[in-house]
Structure 1
């Protein structure tokens, strides 16, 4: 199997499944890293391919990929936050992790039903994309600035304007010319080393939050029942949303999982206790609201599993 990138110069991939050997090459010499310590394009390409191989193996084993953040509580019970980009999944997960839960995922995670009626979760290994406003609200800006100023390289895909803002300690959201928010890209291990957030490697889904960030700075955070509580197929990551498509056909185009697995996961998600919530621009208030909801939903979910067992 072979493929190539659309970048300049293009990188060619040649994979031999029988030998489990991958060759990545370029017709022209690659430029050295832009900054000392930053990975070259070749190393980045190899890492991304290895990640896709792992995803293909998980999907073959019945896992599906969700648009979801997840925080894990004592006993391994996890609270999922579902929603599209900008809904507040990262805010929910990082807030709960800052309050003592273990972070399993900030944007995407794997899910698979078990024979005993529960839903297992695994993290999707990718850098967390976190807005500068949220970093500041969580009081993480100073730690990021300190590490960058001492020479630690930023994530290779992070916009230089974000790096400059973090290095100088400048708070507030950064927007591109097109109106897209520019975010800090943070490796999972940096979440622990920089910000002391505990990480989880697995969990069992016990409840669902459907967050929405209030558009008005003065709007309060609150629980609500405005009709957004239904869980639909939009929870699944689809191929056309992926930055790194299934170029070798390793998952037969089903990057999010097989149709049967998706149907089983969707039915399980619909059975979990869930709550819609509006998040405010007051981080202290969000922490109080989310921790209260998490305790309630995780306890209800535990009772639900006891009934299933």
Structure 2
């Protein structure tokens, strides 16, 4: 039957993915809502914030400046006996707004691949595909007011846009971004606040497509209470910085490279980071 091999391959891949998630959780890992970028020595900055507040903007800006991308939305964390917090990527589709895609100078490459008949991501709205193929748009909204975004596979971040992907890291600091609503607001660090990291950072079962992981973890699909408590304790010991991003990508890059140098002192504050 037409399409059956693709559907079977997709189902097998999803099942294998959930088997891996179950195994990691069983081994003491917990899944975080976090973007992450890796610098020399495996030192990793995690971007933590609510959905739409700037995680992916932070991660892709630093990755475009030379860091290696560990995660665009979620990653696994587990304390190590050496006192560090180890991190693993949890590959997922990146949802990137058209304005950010253009600011990162990724639009032309995305258009070239689509015009060369490379199929778009199956969950990408057709209106986004049409815009990427034919014209430039800074934003695209649905009738309900939700921003429609380009959907990008992890491997496309490398193949299309030349980003480096990391396979492991060690938590070294936390970035707490917020995108300011006004296009005229400058990018700046908030020096007076260091918010505590709370349990809202953990991915909960109702946020997963397969919340019970096919019953493979006997109900502990978000990690054990002990593992979660240890990860929270470690995250709150790390240096962290809250800041506001603007719609000026050059200013965002300048601010983020400076914050990187302050949180990981051995990393040069040059506008072009080397990983």
TM-score band by shorter chain is over 0.9
Alpha-carbon distance in structure 2 between the residues aligned to 1:154 and 1:209: 31
**Partners of 2:191 and 2:242 within 8 A in 1:** yes
Alpha-carbon distance in structure 1 between the residues aligned to 2:16 and 2:171: 27
SS of the residue corresponding to residue 203 of structure 2 reads coil
- Structure 1 segment 106-125 matched on structure 2, within 5 A: 106-125=72-91
Work out which of the residue numbers 207, 226, 242 in structure 2 matches 1:260.
226
Alpha-carbon distance in structure 2 between the residues aligned to 1:199 and 1:291: 18
Alpha-carbon distance in structure 2 between the residues aligned to 1:73 and 1:205: 10
- Structure 1 segment 226-305 matched on structure 2, within 5 A: 227=193, 229-246=195-212, 248-299=214-265
Alpha-carbon distance in structure 2 between the residues aligned to 1:125 and 1:290: 23
SS of the residue corresponding to residue 260 of structure 1 reads helix
2:10 corresponds to 1:32: no
Bigger RCO (CA 8 Å, 6+ sep): 2
Deviation for aligned residue 1:236: 0.5
Deviation for aligned residue 1:225: 4.3
**Partners of 2:72 and 2:94 within 8 A in 1:** yes
2:6 corresponds to 1:44: no
Alpha-carbon distance in structure 1 between the residues aligned to 2:6 and 2:143: 27
SS of the residue corresponding to residue 71 of structure 1 reads strand
| TM-score, with structure 1 as normaliser | 0.82
Mean CA deviation greater in 247-256 or 198-207: 247-256
Alpha-carbon distance in structure 2 between the residues aligned to 1:61 and 1:109: 15
Structure 1 partner of 2:161: 195
Deviation for aligned residue 1:254: 3.2
Segments of 5+ residues of structure 2 without an aligned counterpart are: 268-275
Structure 2 partner of 1:163: 129
**Partners of 1:129 and 1:186 within 8 A in 2:** yes
SS of the residue corresponding to residue 97 of structure 1 reads helix
**Partners of 2:19 and 2:213 within 8 A in 1:** no
Deviation for aligned residue 1:169: 3.7
Structure 2 partner of 1:83: 49
Structure 2 partner of 1:56: 22
Deviation for aligned residue 1:247: 5.0
Structure 2 partner of 1:208: 174
Alpha-carbon distance in structure 2 between the residues aligned to 1:131 and 1:41: 28
**Partners of 2:35 and 2:75 within 8 A in 1:** yes
Alpha-carbon distance in structure 2 between the residues aligned to 1:263 and 1:106: 24
| TM-score, with structure 2 as normaliser | 0.92
How many matched pairs? 267
Which structure would you say has the larger Rg? Answer: 1
SS of the residue corresponding to residue 53 of structure 2 reads coil
Alpha-carbon distance in structure 1 between the residues aligned to 2:20 and 2:36: 20
Q: Deviation per CA, 1:209-250: give whole Å up to 9, x if none.
A: 110000111111111146462110011010111233225222
RMSD: 1.8
Alpha-carbon distance in structure 2 between the residues aligned to 1:82 and 1:66: 9
Segments of 5+ residues of structure 1 without an aligned counterpart are: 1-28, 34-38, 302-309
Alpha-carbon distance in structure 2 between the residues aligned to 1:276 and 1:118: 22
